[in-house]
């Protein structure tokens, strides 16, 4: 079934200009290509038709986004960010892009101007929100305070668009169900610039379902993620205008996963991530056992196996299900298959290596796990200290003469430790972390932990009280 779909797409690619262009089915086929390791094919497909449809333009920018996340190269991250910003601008209300789309559609499909306006404006708002969401993710990769502030601002803009469209689409479906002969949608707003209006007949149900799926993906993703935030932080987030309902989010993603929208495969992956990663981690739904979401995940994978036979992400989630069920050998098989299928997709490879390393660690295969954690430490941008620690555990189990447990790791360009228990301030050389205070009458030393050696300074020192000292602190020094 999947092969037939891809072949149909190839006919469109290789055919002449007279071949009919379907701006509803073709973007979904492009996403299927993308997730089946067809990055180049998907890129060429979206590139060819990016001027024909906003959806194809959105798919074109999404390929840049995925490539940037897979490689984490600075050039690709900047290129993807720029492409997403261009997509956002082209899909804004009132620019020339819409006029060109209307002309092409009026020649090929002879739709009325009002119906094009309703469908196109809703779709372009969704694309704008999607672009803002993807931009926020890329901005967060910089891992600094200005990036977090900017990323949060982009997220809020995207969320408000999704929230507004979700309410409007729900109202539109209710009105259209009750008043099928109505010729006015005056209460449906297109954007902050003005309402979506028109005197055309009702939107076809299949088009309405696709638009609902497009809106539900972003809205459901926000609802699900925000609902998992700790209560104390959630109060702050709600103060900023966000809200989260897990049940609403899951229903929205489930709707999108069965729709014809191009983001349906992404909704499927989001549901798999929830059932195999988030549910066991947070022990959701009162499930004490780790395999609480395996049944739902298996059903989702079985439903999409024919569509995504070569996707490393689906193979990864298969391995995740086996691991949750303590079937380590089967899990390793799936993870290794996913690793082979993900050749060239760096971040997917690292995800697989992490799981392979832990499975080998559970099987006491130290050499294999050491290989995985060493590569993770060298290539990933996240949690280098954690992978250094796991590397040290593997070294210790092999009884090598290297450091047994290493909590700190020296970077190539820096000689500072990544994990520091105490930090020195600019103006003071005292440690920031203070634990205990000595009474004024005590002159003796309170806690003494570390010891000095000939070649090393004290590793752990706990300050003691004396007449000349007023503060008792924990100081952590490193051997030079």
pLDDT, mean of each 10-residue run, the chain (480 residues)? 41 45 83 88 90 90 88 85 92 54 50 57 92 92 86 92 91 70 46 44 78 93 89 81 88 94 94 91 67 86 90 94 93 94 87 94 91 91 86 77 43 40 37 36 36 36 38 37
pLDDT one-digit tens code per residue, 88-134: 998 875 544 444 444 555 544 444 444 456 778 889 999 999 999 99
Query: Quick one: tokens of 70?
Result: 């897979």
Say what the pLDDT of residue 87 is. Answer: 92
Displacement of CA 205 from its chain's centroid (Å): 31
Say what the pLDDT of residue 106 is. Answer: 53
Whether residue 196 contacts residue 190, with contact meaning beta carbons closer than 8 Å, is answered with yes
Say what the pLDDT of residue 303 is. Answer: 92
How far is Cα 228 from Cα 431, in angstroms, rounded to an integer?
Answer: 35
pLDDT one-digit tens code per residue, 240-282: 788 888 999 999 999 999 999 999 999 999 999 999 988 888 7
**What separation in angstroms does the CA of 124 have from each of 263, 380, 425?**
14, 35, 50
Say what the pLDDT of residue 20 is. Answer: 57
Say what the pLDDT of residue 309 is. Answer: 86
Query: Quick one: tokens of 372?
Result: 């995985």
Whether residue 12 contacts residue 27, with contact meaning beta carbons closer than 8 Å, is answered with no
Say what the pLDDT of residue 272 is. Answer: 94
The proportion of the chain whose per-residue pLDDT surpasses 70, expressed as a percent, equals 66
Say what the pLDDT of residue 384 is. Answer: 85
């Amino acid at each position: 079934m999947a092969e037939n779909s891809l072949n149909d797409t190839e006919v469109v690619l290789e055919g002449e200009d007279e071949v009919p262009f379907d701006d509803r089915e073709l973007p979904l086929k492009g996403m299927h290509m993308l997730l089946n390791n067809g990055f180049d094919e998907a890129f060429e497909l979206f590139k060819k038709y990016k001027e024909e449809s906003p959806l194809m333009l959105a798919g074109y920018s999404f390929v840049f986004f995925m490539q940037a996340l897979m490689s984490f190269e600075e050039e690709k991250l900047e290129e993807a960010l720029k492409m997403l910003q261009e997509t956002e601008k082209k899909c804004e209300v009132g620019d020339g892009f819409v006029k060109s789309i209307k002309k092409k559609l009026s020649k090929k499909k002879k739709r009325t101007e009002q119906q094009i306006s309703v469908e196109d404006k809703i779709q372009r708002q969704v694309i704008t929100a999607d672009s803002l969401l993807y931009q926020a993710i890329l901005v967060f990769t910089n891992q600094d305070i200005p990036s977090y502030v900017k990323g949060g601002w982009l997220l809020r803009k995207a969320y408000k668009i999704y929230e507004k469209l979700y309410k409007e689409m729900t109202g539109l479906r209710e009105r259209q169900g009750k008043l099928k002969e109505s010729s006015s949608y005056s209460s449906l707003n297109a954007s902050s610039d003005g309402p979506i209006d028109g005197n055309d007949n009702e939107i076809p149900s299949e088009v309405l379902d696709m638009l609902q799926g497009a809106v539900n993906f972003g809205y459901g993703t926000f609802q699900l993620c925000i609902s998992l935030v700790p209560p104390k932080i959630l109060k702050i987030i709600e103060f900023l205008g966000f809200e989260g309902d897990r049940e609403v989010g899951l229903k929205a993603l489930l709707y999108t996963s069965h729709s014809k929208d191009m983001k349906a495969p992404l909704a499927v992956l989001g549901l798999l991530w929830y059932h195999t990663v988030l549910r066991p981690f947070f022990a959701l739904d009162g499930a004490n056992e780790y395999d609480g979401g395996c049944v739902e995940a298996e059903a989702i994978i079985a439903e999409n196996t024919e569509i995504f036979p070569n996707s490393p992400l689906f193979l990864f989630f298969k391995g995740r299900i086996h691991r949750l069920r303590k079937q380590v050998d089967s899990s390793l098989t799936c993870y290794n298959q996913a690793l082979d299928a993900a050749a060239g997709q760096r971040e997917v490879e690292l995800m697989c290596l992490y799981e392979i390393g832990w499975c080998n660690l559970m099987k006491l295969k130290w050499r294999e796990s050491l290989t995985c954690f060493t590569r993770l430490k060298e290539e990933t941008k996240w949690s280098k200290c954690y992978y250094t620690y796991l590397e040290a555990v593997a070294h210790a189990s092999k009884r090598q003469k290297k450091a047994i447990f290493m909590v700190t790791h020296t970077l190539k360009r820096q000689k500072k430790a990544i994990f520091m228990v105490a930090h020195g301030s600019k103006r003071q050389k005292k440690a920031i972390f203070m634990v205990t205070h000595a009474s004024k009458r005590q002159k003796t030393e309170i806690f003494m932990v570390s010891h000095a050696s000939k070649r090393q300074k004290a590793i752990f020192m706990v300050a003691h009280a004396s007449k000349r000292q007023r503060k008792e602190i924990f100081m952590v020094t490193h051997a030079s």
